[in-house]
Structure 1
């Protein structure tokens, strides 16, 4: 009997060990190996430009600009249809209507889009009161390389132009119409994009917890570009206040009045030669930035 019990016990232990091996192997396969992925992202191929749209055009002048610019090819992508490009053939300004001093309807831009696979324009309204901001980029890999990104409450419209002048004219026309209707675009205060650090990036910096933000894009000719901040810098402080994360950084920047000069403390990775071997070190740097 003791022999049988011993055999049973040995069998249970063997099965348990086998199951643990299977679980361990499965877990190892499910967890991505950090060595296969770079800790720090590659620099973006897109160039981000500081852009403050002009708002001095009348409705009639804006309408002329839309007709002039749409005579050349403008391709567009929408966030809700990211794989369905279209060609913008026309832009019609629809001014909001008022009755007895009260606005009855808000204005809109009526886009005449020809979607891929169709020959006739399909009209689409973009309500002016939903448009929040515009950003300008140069995308070297795109056919039409100048991108005007229009962010709205319910969607984003990525408009690709053949040249910078057309993109800026179109943006100025949109901004002028918004101003005519009493709406204001939200402009970036310092001209950069940031993101939270990953656990791997925090570890590479020697941190025991995840804080600060990583700079991913800097607007050419913008306040941070002029101050000397670069992509892949890590912002650690704003005016001496330690940055906790992406949300905290944005709150700190938004709370500062336009026209104020602030200090941003950063860490920048540099390569040094240590006895014939290259090593990365993070050097603290302080920049003065004028808030727009």
Structure 2
């Protein structure tokens, strides 16, 4: 447990299976970390967040929370956290009431975008745009422009996973068919290529061995990933595009797969060659709690 009288803050990243937390100082340096299993239900989530905040810092300090679901970041309300069986929860007000500190609730991909921009974007200019593209169970992008999150009118900015452009026309949980998320996400790969262990590394390995079914599915997935990357690049024109989420834990083979697809698209296309998407790509760090770091930084938003 850390005690301080300096301007520290806590960031907490709520996931479907675990909750991660960090204590950072005013410079954004991570001073302490914590992780606990996520438990279903509103009361459990509030209790776990409050307990983690007290563990990270004995003195009450502001808390930023990144969470899946539909987030009203102005009022601190989150809706539809399906994995935790939460329909609606005034998470920010509840945590503030228990801890007596300012609490900010942010969409988890937005929070991860802030964390990735700080940790992985390198030397970007003050007015540059950085996009974090999350290939997790779903597919979404977080956009940071001139150091600030872009959210749009109803918080739907970056929800590219539900753009219905894939010709396979798979049914999406959102009710549409052909959403990018149904082909270019970790959840999609797990559905298309069920196996023991992480699906993406297994799919890559089998395809490299000449497995016909694996090659067919990998080609399908790769094309969808290329669409997702090209879509966010042409929509937001970022200086840096950071690839993260569960699929990207495959590491360099995943980045090389995406790069090859984009280079293939550039062949014979002066427009794509000019904007040079591959040169902008980065892999998100897997050894840093980006979501929790970003949740703490979102307190400045």
TM above 0.5, one fold? no
- Higher strand proportion (structure 1 or 2): 1
Per residue, is there more helix in 1 or in 2? 2
Which of structures 1 and 2 has the bigger CA Rg? 1
